[in-house]
């Protein structure tokens, strides 16, 4: 079999182009595959179908997957053609996309490597520059973002994520698609503007099909959702209000250390973490001490018992049962006269319709919190991002659930 026939089979269907020559350079360890086309080929305008006239021929080169451990490059003279009505353009060849200097099979392999390791390490393994590796990643994301139609979702989570120093945030919209947790959208900032872009991307029809949106108590997210998705139910994140209750218990502990008796102060020394653990997660070495603390008359112990009682809310089977539970829990909190816990309870009462909705849908921001942890690891691996758009691209590349294969999903 001639080398030209072998490499034509490797390239696949490149009609009307064909492999005309193969050159091996044993010194540079490279193989050049020359691809040609009949210079008499007639080109038609993609818009008006009229005949286009050839202006000039330019030699272009594309990196192929290595063959026989040699760096392999495709070389072809590609015509620039002109339409009287729609101007000039360079002919698109079938083995690559746009102005990329890599064939689609190489980009497919590079995407797999980039998903497995850092960008600098991937560039080293692929023997390309960091900029070239980043370009492959950005093209992969852009290619699928323009073509994806899978944003037709019914349940989504909205959360903010700090990504820099100071008040530097992004809005992350997460959803479930085919049982897989994926990032659907990344917006700038944590206010309305950060979320509005997602609703505008969906459009009114798809916004109307959203059944429930999980979020924290942030007024800006609530306002944005109500504006674009008036029919969607709001589910307030259980993680958020459990954090609020934990903070209230800790506030009671700090107040009691300052204002309590000498015995109370002594009992509460080095006990901060004990009150924050769920009792079932308490390490064995602390159980004896904590048993004495939780059964004491300390205000902190009373606040902790109210916190633990609230954890049973998720066990309610119906909304009606949940309403009865909350009413009784609220009565106990108000009777406790523990102001930090009462303050949280009043806030929960104000947002209770969004809290009770959880019992119907059993859907919350847990998947968003897990996604935020993965994003944080991504930021740490990259030692931070100076370019916000590159951060958003990397998030979608790694966690967007996009079909990035440029060969199988053209």
For residue range 143-163, what is the model confidence (pLDDT) as tens digits?
888 776 656 788 889 988 888
Of 75, 76, 69, residue with least CA distance to 127: 69
Q: How far apart are alpha carbons 374 and 395 in whole angstroms? A: 9
CA distances from 178 to 151, 152, 175, 199 (A): 12, 12, 10, 21
Residue 92 buriedness (CB in 10 A; 0-12 / 13-18 / 19+):
exposed
What does DSSP assign to residue 102? B
Residue 333 buriedness (CB in 10 A; 0-12 / 13-18 / 19+):
buried
Which regions in the chain score pLDDT beneath 50? 1
The predicted structure's pLDDT at residue 1: 43
Q: What is the pTM of this model?
A: 0.80
The predicted structure's pLDDT at residue 251: 95
Six token digits for residue 122: 């991937």
* 64, 72 contact by CB (below 8 A): yes
For residue range 338-388, what is the model confidence (pLDDT) as tens digits?
999 999 999 999 999 999 998 988 887 777 777 788 888 888 887 778 888
């Amino acid at each position: 079999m001639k080398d030209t026939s072998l490499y034509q089979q490797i390239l696949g269907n490149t009609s009307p182009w064909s492999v005309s020559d193969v050159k091996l350079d044993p010194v540079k360890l490279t193989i050049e595959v020359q691809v040609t086309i009949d210079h008499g080929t007639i080109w038609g305008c993609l818009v008006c179908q009229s005949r286009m006239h050839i202006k000039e021929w330019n030699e272009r080169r594309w990196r192929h997957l290595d063959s026989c451990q040699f760096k392999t490059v495709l070389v072809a003279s590609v015509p620039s053609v002109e339409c009287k009505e729609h101007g000039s353009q360079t002919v698109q060849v079938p083995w690559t996309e746009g102005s990329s200097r890599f064939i689609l099979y190489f980009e497919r392999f590079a995407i797999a490597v980039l998903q497995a390791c850092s960008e600098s390490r991937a560039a080293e393994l692929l023997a390309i520059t960091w900029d070239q590796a980043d370009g492959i990643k950005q093209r992969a994301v852009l290619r699928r973002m323009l073509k994806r139609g899978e944003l037709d979702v019914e349940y989504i989570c909205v959360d903010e994520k700090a990504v820099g120093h100071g008040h530097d945030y992004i809005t992350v919209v997460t959803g479930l698609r085919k049982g897989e947790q994926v990032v659907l959208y990344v917006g700038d900032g944590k206010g309305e503007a950060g979320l509005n872009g997602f609703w505008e991307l969906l459009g009114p029809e798809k916004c109307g099909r959203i059944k429930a949106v999980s979020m924290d108590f942030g007024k800006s997210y609530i306002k944005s959702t109500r504006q674009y998705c008036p029919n969607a139910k709001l589910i307030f994140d259980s993680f958020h209000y459990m954090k609020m209750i934990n903070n209230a218990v800790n506030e009671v502990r700090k107040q009691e250390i300052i204002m309590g008796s000498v015995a109370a102060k002594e009992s509460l020394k080095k006990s901060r973490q004990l009150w924050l653990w769920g009792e079932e997660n308490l390490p064995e070495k602390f159980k004896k001490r904590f048993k004495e603390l939780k059964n004491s008359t300390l205000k902190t112990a009373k606040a902790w018992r109210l916190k633990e009682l609230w954890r049973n809310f998720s066990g309610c089977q119906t909304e009606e049962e949940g309403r009865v539970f909350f009413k009784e829990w609220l009565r106990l909190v108000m009777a406790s006269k523990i102001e930090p816990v009462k303050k949280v309870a009043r806030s929960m009462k104000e947002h209770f319709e969004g809290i009770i909705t959880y019992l119907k849908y059993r859907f919350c921001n847990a998947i968003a919190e897990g996604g935020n942890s993965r994003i944080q690891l991504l930021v740490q691996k990259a030692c931070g991002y100076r370019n916000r758009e590159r951060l958003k691209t990397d998030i979608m590349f790694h966690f967007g659930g996009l079909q990035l294969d440029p060969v199988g999903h053209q």
